[in-house]
Structure 1
Amino acid sequence: MKTPDLETASPRRRPPTGWQRLVARLPIFLFGCGLGGVFGKRLLLLHHTGRVSGLDRRVVLEVVEHAPDSGSWVVASGFGPGASWYQNLREQPKTLIQAGTRHFAVTAHFLPPEEGADIMARYASRHPRVARRLCAFLGLPSDGTAAGFRQAGRGIPFVRLQADSSSRLP
């Protein structure tokens, strides 16, 4: 089966609009109020600079993997490489994140499809029901097996956010 070209693949599902967008953006408000800790280690707030506007933008993303010892977080662009935050990071990979109540300076590293396949398989073994629902929501093929999740992972752009040395900010 051919792996989709991540630069040209169109998202299988469109981002939410209207009231669903408002609800989806509620975590940004909670992070802004200093309540990022309520999400534990599952979500982070990513700051990114708009490619055209140059303005600070924010998005809350699920943490797919976190390696506290190396200071890295892996996130996925569920809406494909066309997501604004993903494109903005491609343009300016050095940025800031907030994980819980802590801030970090990070650099984005865009992972190849094979590494994405491994990450998705590990994620599915930790969260099988969520992984099945995620694949269905995004319109990605997966038969619920490790091989199926690996195939789905090849079609999802993954980004490793690596903390810069001594990056913990006040």
Structure 2
Amino acid sequence: MTDFNTQIIEDFRAHGGYVGAPFNSDKLVLLHHVGAKSGVARVSPLMSFPDEEGWVIVASKGGAPENPGWYYNLLANPDTEIEFGTETIPVRASVIPADERAPLWADITAKNAGFASYERRTERVIPLVRLTRR
């Protein structure tokens, strides 16, 4: 884990789920996931978009040509947990199908233009993953 992510995780936990600059957000989740190949437990801080069904997270990896490792970990092990605010919540991860993605993507990029810039940097379709409470 990078020092940057370690600092975000520490800030998140110290401030009840709120992270200051550069994020200034109470919409972050700490995604717990297990390495698909390694079996190593990991935690990744991610921006989320809560809705009535749960949380949507974006497998953007900053517009890199490949999906982030956590995405493959969730495909292999979809039952996991997140930290949101001060709660630890058991969730099931599922990739949002193509026919449901477009309106969600439009909403996400309207709320956070950074994701639109990531999309311009890559040739791949950036997956959206729904985390639903178990």
TM-score category, normalised to shorter length: 0.7 to 0.9
Residues 25, 114 of structure 1: alpha-carbon distance in 2 compared, 3 angstrom cutoff: farther
1:21-100 maps to which residues of 2 (within 5 A)?
A: 21-31=2-12, 33-39=13-19, 40-63=25-48, 65-67=49-51, 69-70=52-53, 72-79=54-61, 82-100=67-85
Q: Gapped runs of 5+ residues in structure 2?
A: 20-24
1:81·1:87 contact (CA, 8 Å) conserved in 2? no
Alignment match, 1:163: 133
Q: Gapped runs of 5+ residues in structure 1?
A: 1-20, 142-151, 165-170
Tell me the number of residue pairs that the alignment of Structure 1 and Structure 2 aligns. Answer: 126
Residues 124, 50 of structure 1: alpha-carbon distance in 2 compared, 3 angstrom cutoff: closer
1:25·1:59 contact (CA, 8 Å) conserved in 2? no
Shift of 1:76: 0.6
Shift of 1:43: 0.5
In structure 1, C-alpha distance between the alignment counterparts of 2:115 and 2:108, rounded to whole Å = 11
Shift of 1:24: 4.3
Residues 81, 107 of structure 1: alpha-carbon distance in 2 compared, 3 angstrom cutoff: farther
Shift of 1:42: 1.6
> Looking at CA atoms only, which structure, 1 or 2, has the larger radius of gyration?
1
Structure richer in strand, relative to its length: 2
2:109·2:115 contact (CA, 8 Å) conserved in 1? no
Alignment match, 1:148: none
Residues 134, 123 of structure 1: alpha-carbon distance in 2 compared, 3 angstrom cutoff: closer
Percent of paired sites with the same residue: 30
In structure 1, C-alpha distance between the alignment counterparts of 2:71 and 2:91, rounded to whole Å = 14
Shift of 1:81: 5.7
In structure 2, C-alpha distance between the alignment counterparts of 1:120 and 1:161, rounded to whole Å = 16
